[in-house]
């Protein structure tokens, strides 16, 4: 791979993760490269409008308007996001929650779509955010329906971190949880990332039956919702509609 292009992409990822701005020194340090080399790449990104200087501090860099334009075109042209956003908004609006869609990237979930009900109590994370698969409802939904070999490979490489008292912190515990997810048809983050938050997620399948994305809704933990399970059933039904729209002939798929 071209080293300069790889570094440029990594710089864009850093800028995307830090909307408040990142200095040249911080970029050079993060990429373990000379400041002069980082400067040359940043100057090219500035000329291409993929990056720009912060309005509040000229020594900090943020994503540029062209990066936003490219990302927006990707979202608008992606069938999964287009279909998923419609059904996801319905569930999020019904329960006054924030809806998310995520794709799997290694042992992380990348959040590619977000819709927040005006009455939602939590804004949660932003687009482009990455979270571990083992403690998020999106991550569990994606993992649960992967082929066993691929699923086990990802689990074996996870570096578990205890985020709350309820976080799963070992491979066997996660595998047991995923068995429950597959039988139930939807996943739950029961205050595993944050003590006050609960999330419900479900997988989306393509026309070949491969899990390609997941959707979820999240907000403040509600004991009654957790007990009756209706939110989970509704997010599962929404995900099923997206899968059908992608050409999946539906029968509840249980990965072995």
Which pLDDT tens digit goes with each residue over 150-186?
A: 999 999 999 998 998 889 999 999 999 999 999 999 9
Given a cut of 60, is residue 17 above it in pLDDT? yes
CB 61 within 8 A of CB 52: yes
Fill in the DSSP letter of residue 136: S
d(CA 97, CA 121): 7
Given a cut of 50, is residue 254 above it in pLDDT? no
d(CA 215, CA 80): 10
Give phi and psi for 42, each to the nearest 5: -60, -40
pLDDT score for 251 = 53
Cα distances from 198 to residues 98, 131, 134, 244, in angstroms, run: 11, 15, 14, 27
pLDDT score for 250 = 61
Given a cut of 70, is residue 234 above it in pLDDT? yes
Give me the sign of the Cα torsion angle 49, 53, 55, 60: positive
Does the pTM surpass 0.85? The reply is no
- Ramachandran region, residue 209 (left: φ > 0; alpha: ψ -120 to 50; beta: rest): left
Can you list the domains of the chain with their CATH numbers?
3-69 (1.10.10.10), 78-245 (3.30.450.40)
pLDDT score for 143 = 96
What does the longest C-alpha to C-alpha distance in the chain come to? 59
In the sheet with 187-190, reading across from the earlier edge strand, the strands are 130-132, 108-116, 98-105, 211-220, 197-205, 187-190
In percent, the amount of the chain with pLDDT more than 90 equals 57
């Amino acid at each position: 791979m071209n080293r300069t292009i790889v570094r440029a992409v990594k710089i864009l990822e850093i800028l995307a993760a830090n909307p408040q701005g990142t200095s040249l020194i911080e970029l050079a340090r993060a990429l373990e490269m000379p400041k002069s080399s980082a400067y040359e790449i940043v100057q090219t990104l500035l000329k291409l409008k993929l990056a720009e200087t912060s309005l509040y501090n000229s020594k900090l860099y943020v994503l540029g308007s062209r990066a936003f334009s490219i990302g927006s075109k990707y979202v608008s042209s992606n069938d999964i996001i287009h279909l998923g956003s419609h059904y996801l908004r319905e569930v999020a609006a019904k329960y006054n929650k924030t809806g998310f869609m995520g794709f799997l990237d290694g042992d992380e979930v990348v959040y590619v779509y977000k819709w927040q009900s005006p009455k939602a109590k939590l804004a949660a994370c932003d687009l482009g955010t990455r979270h571990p698969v083992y403690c998020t409802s999106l991550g569990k939904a994606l993992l649960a329906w992967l082929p066993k070999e691929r699923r086990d490979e990802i689990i074996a490489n996870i570096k578990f971190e205890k985020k709350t008292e309820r976080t799963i912190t070992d491979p066997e515990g996660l595998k047991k949880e995923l068995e429950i997810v597959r039988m139930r048809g939807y996943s739950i983050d029961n205050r595993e990332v944050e003590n006050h938050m609960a999330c419900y997620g479900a997988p989306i399948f393509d026309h070949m039956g491969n899990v390609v994305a997941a959707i979820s809704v999240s907000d403040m933990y509600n004991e009654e919702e957790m007990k009756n399970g209706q939110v989970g059933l509704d997010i599962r039904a929404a995900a099923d509609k997206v899968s059908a729209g992608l050409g999946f002939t539906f029968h509840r798929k249980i990965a072995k």
